[in-house]
Structure formats: C-alpha cells, structure tokens
Chain A
Amino acid sequence: MSKRSNWSIPYLIFLIFFVVLPLILVLVYAFQDNAGRFTLGNITKFFTDKDALSTFAVSLEVALETTLLCILLGYPAAWILANKKYNRSAVTIVLFIMPMWVNALMRTLATAQLFTMFDITLGKGTLLFGMVYDYLPFMIYPIYNVLSRMDPSYAEAAEDLGATPATVFRKVTVPLSMPGVASGVLMVFMPTVSTFAISEFLTNNKIKLFGTIIQENINSSMWNYGAALALVMLIIIGITSLFSKDNEEVEGGLI
C-alpha cells in the first residue's frame, strides 16, 4: 500500500515545474532590470506611475461593485432556488449554471453587441452590467449549494422557539450560508479584478483595467515591469483568498 503513495511523485514534479517555478520567476523578474540586475525600480515605478495607480484603483472599485451587485442580486435568487416551496425543478438550476460553461468572451461579446444594437453608449454602466451578467452564475451557484444542503431542522428549531421568519432568516439562514457567500465572492472578485479582454469589449477601450496594463507591458516586451504588476495582483489575490478557506469543497462539486 505505502508504495502507491509514490504515484504522486510525477505530479509533484510537474507542479514544481509548472506552478512553483513560474511563480518564483514572477518574483525574480519583478525585481530585475532589463540586464538581469537586482532592482527595486519596477516596484517604485508602479507606486509613482499615476496612470497605473488610478487604473489599479478603478479595477478594485469595479471588482468590488460587481461583487456587491452579484451578492445583492444572487443571494435572493439562490435562496429561492434552494427553497422547496418555490422551486422544485432541477432544470431552473441547470439554466442558471449553463452560462458558466459558455466561453466568457463569447458571452461578453454577445452582451456588447446587444448594447450596440440598442444604441447604448459603452462606458462604466455597461461595464458593470456586463461584468454582473458574466459572473452572476458564479455567485448564485455556491450560495445555492450551501443553502440546499442546509439541515432544515435548524430553521424549524428556531421557529419552534418563537423566532419570526425574518429573524430565522437573519440569525440562522444567513450565518449558515456564509461559506457559500465567501466562495461566491472569491469566484466573482478574482476574475473581475484580473480581467482584461472583458473590460475592453464592454467599454470599447474607454476604461482601462489593471489586467489590460499587465497584458500591454508583457506584450510590448516590458517583462520586468509586467511581472512587477502581476506581483501586485498576486498580493491582492493572496489577501482575498485568505477570506475564504474552504472554497474547494464547493468548486469540486461544480457539475
């Protein structure tokens, strides 16, 4: 039996090569200049670059607003879907999950085309709408997952003890569904803060997001500065992922 634990070795080597080493390279490139000498220049460049800083702020703002809107719209939907009184068909849930499996670029393009068709000017409003549209299923699904697995006897017990339906919702349902909200936040915030193509489509390049700057630097061979910007994003991602520790359980059951 114990020998079979060795079967993990090929994957371990693969992970070191294709996950750990690349991340170390981001760190190395971020602290090097063109000639490969150590420098803090890329980092200080970011903190003195007004354009990069304002783009960074806009990205954070857009990602936060998208996430918040997704919670506000998605939580009630997930609650209704998980509630047997209101929904008994599995088809509705499949309909909500389905867009998650369609290429995000395609969906975004469809939305952008719809805006153009109705002569809606592309800008901040369309950006937010499109992002919420793209990522709402990613908020609904994990919350739905937690709510539908919740033991109904907790709510019943609270009711028996005299709580009103509103109190039950506030004191029992919401706290118990927090893991779902946390992984929803992760699944919405991470891609929105790091996207580049989606924002370009939805605003016709009027609003630049942080991802676009990373992409522009990498593509114009400014690898070191690009790596430094990627490092900044990695730190944001690291901080965000601290907020939700047990997301893998929900993600593992995606289909």
Chain B
Amino acid sequence: MKKILAKIYIWVLLVILYAPLVFIAIFSFTESKVLGNWQGFSVNLYKNLLTGNMQGNSSLLSAVYNTLLIALVAAAFSTLLGTIAAIGIHNLKGGRKKAITFLNNIPMINPDIITGVSLFLLFVFLRISQGYVSVILAHITFCTPYVVLSVLPKLKQMNPNIYEAALDLGATPSQALWKVMVPELRPGMVSGFILAFTMSLDDFAVTFFTRGTIGLDTLSTYIYTDARKGGLTPELRPLMTLIFILILVLLVIINVRQDRMNKKQAAQ
C-alpha cells in the first residue's frame, strides 16, 4: 500500500513536470500559430526548421548557430583553462589554495544576473565593444569553475609517481604530460566539457547583458525577444522537441558511461 502511494506520488510529479514538454512535442506536428489549436497532422514545421524557410522570422536558425558556436568555443577554452588551472591548484597548498578555490566558487554561487551586470560594467569600463568576443569571454567565466571541479577529483585519484616514472624513463616533460597526465585526466575533462557546454547552451541572463547592440542573438535571447513581441515563431516547437530528445539521449549516454566507470573502479 505504502509502496503504491510512493509510486503514485513520483509518477504524478513526473507527469506534471513533463506535461508542458509533451504538449510542445505534440503540437510540433501541426501548423497552427498557437498552442492548443490542432489543425491536422503535419511535419511542415520540421521541414521549415531544417530548410530555414520560416513563416515569420528567419533569424531563428542563425540564433541556433550562434548558440552552438558560442557554446563550443566557450566550452573548449574553459576545458583548456580549467584543466591547466586544476593541475596548478592541485599542487598548491594552504592559504593560496584556499584563496583560489574561493574565487573559483564565486561565479558558481553568483546568480546569472549579477554575473551579467558585473561583466557588462567591465566591458563598458574597459571600452571593449560587445558582441561575440564579450559573450564568449563571459561564458568562459562562468563555465571554467565547473571544469576545475570536474578535473580536480581525477588529479586526486591519480598516482603522482607515474608522471615522475615517465620522466625517469626518458620522456620529456611535454611527452609525460600528453602521454601520461592527459589520458589520466581525460574523463574529468570530458565531463567538464559537457558541463560547460550545457551551461553555455542554457544561459540567458549573462548573454543578454554582454551581447551589446549589434543584434547578436542566441536561442535564449531569441526566445525572450520573440515572446515579448507576443506570438511565438511556431518553428520553435519542433526545435524545442528536438532539443529535449537530444538532451535525454545525452544524459542517458553520460549516465551509462558513469555507471560503467564506477563498475570498472569497483572491480579494480
């Protein structure tokens, strides 16, 4: 009895959580302008989305392109910067380590709007013109801490002697780095990259404040402007549906990977 009640509670919550997403998915297969007005089955919205031939605004595709470009560049730089930083932090001690860890936590605790406003003021103060560069720099700022936190545990697990052993056996420091360190850290770097990538995809407020006035739109800012104008571009529905599915698949892959890694560790 208790078990049934518990199950019901969980499933009711899940149904409520997913209802809006499911409705969007259902209504991505009809051409109506507004949600809830079923005008017969059609895949035209998907076709329009993929061919870029949209009823209303055609800048949706460029917003998607910008989102992906910014997320890729920001995640790549964050992974590089964060990994190097993690190696440094791992070898620091005492007060310095505490200080840099504290600074590293600030962008994670700060709400987006504070990060956005403060970086906006920085770009104004330094007279850096705002556009792709400022948005990417801002994204690196809030993504890197997650990479650092993903790589640090791998450094702790790593046997410090194997790097020294490589050097003793005649490897140059850079060989030892690329052939010994990086493979050991790779799982942490990969999850750091994925985290950074999704953080960047997800961001609205920071992009909103740092994109300047050149008309640079990411998916989030596009949705925001579109919704404020009233009347959403119908092609957003198939786009959202595709994104939901993509994320679900990604999450399953990540979890399976992690499961396998945990099992491997348990076996060792």
Which of A47-55, A77-85, A167-175 participates in binding chain B?
Answer: A77-85
A19 to B103: give the CA distance in the assembly, Å.
8
Q: Is the interface of B mostly helix, strand, loop or mixed?
A: helix
- Residues from chain B with Cβ under 8 Å of A223 in the complex: 121, 124
Judging by beta carbons under 8 Å apart, are A237 and B81 in contact?
no
Judging by beta carbons under 8 Å apart, are A214 and B92 in contact?
no
| Chain B residue at minimum C-beta to C-beta distance from A25 | B121
Interface residues of B in 238-268 (CB under 8 A from A): 240, 243-244, 247-248, 250-252, 254-255, 258-259
Flag whether B1 is at the interface (Cβ < 8 A): no
Question: Closest CB-CB distance, B218 to chain A, in whole Å?
Answer: 10
Judging by beta carbons under 8 Å apart, are A218 and B17 in contact?
no
Judging by beta carbons under 8 Å apart, are B35 and A97 in contact?
no
Given A102-B244, A255-B195, also A110-B20 (CB < 8 A): yes
Q: How many of B's residues come within 8 Å of A, CB to CB?
A: 90
Question: Closest CB-CB distance, B49 to chain A, in whole Å?
Answer: 15
Flag whether A227 is at the interface (Cβ < 8 A): yes
Which of B40-48, B52-60, B106-114 participates in binding chain A?
Answer: B106-114
A8 to B153: give the CA distance in the assembly, Å.
16
Q: Is the interface of A mostly helix, strand, loop or mixed?
A: helix
A248 to B102: give the CA distance in the assembly, Å.
11
A252 to B195: give the CA distance in the assembly, Å.
10
| From B35, B121, B140, contact of A116 by CB (8 A) | B35
Judging by beta carbons under 8 Å apart, are B150 and A252 in contact?
yes
Per-position binary interface string of chain A over residues 100-112, scored 1 when its CB falls under 8 Å from any chain B CB and 0 otherwise: 0111111101111
Given A19-B141, A251-B108, also A96-B100 (CB < 8 A): no
Given A15-B103, A113-B23, A214-B113, also A95-B137 (CB < 8 A): no
Judging by beta carbons under 8 Å apart, are B251 and A21 in contact?
no
Judging by beta carbons under 8 Å apart, are A18 and B243 in contact?
no
Per-position binary interface string of chain B over residues 65-101, scored 1 when its CB falls under 8 Å from any chain A CB and 0 otherwise: 0000000000000000110110111011100100010
| From B119, B140, B247, contact of A101 by CB (8 A) | B247
A228 to B33: give the CA distance in the assembly, Å.
42
| Chain A residue at minimum C-beta to C-beta distance from B67 | A103
A-B contact pairs, 9 of them (CB 8 A): A11-B89, A15-B100, A18-B119, A25-B122, A102-B21, A110-B20, A113-B23, A218-B120, A252-B149
* Chain A positions near chain B (C-beta within 8 angstroms): 1-2, 4-12, 14-16, 18-23, 25-26, 29, 73, 76-77, 80-81, 83, 85-87, 90, 92, 94-99, 101-107, 109-114, 116-118, 133, 136-137, 186, 190-191, 193-197, 200-201, 211, 214-215, 218, 223, 226-227, 230, 233-234, 237, 241, 247-248, 251-252, 254-255
The 5 closest A-B pairs by CB, nearest first: A8-B88, A7-B88, A11-B85, A117-B36, A22-B118
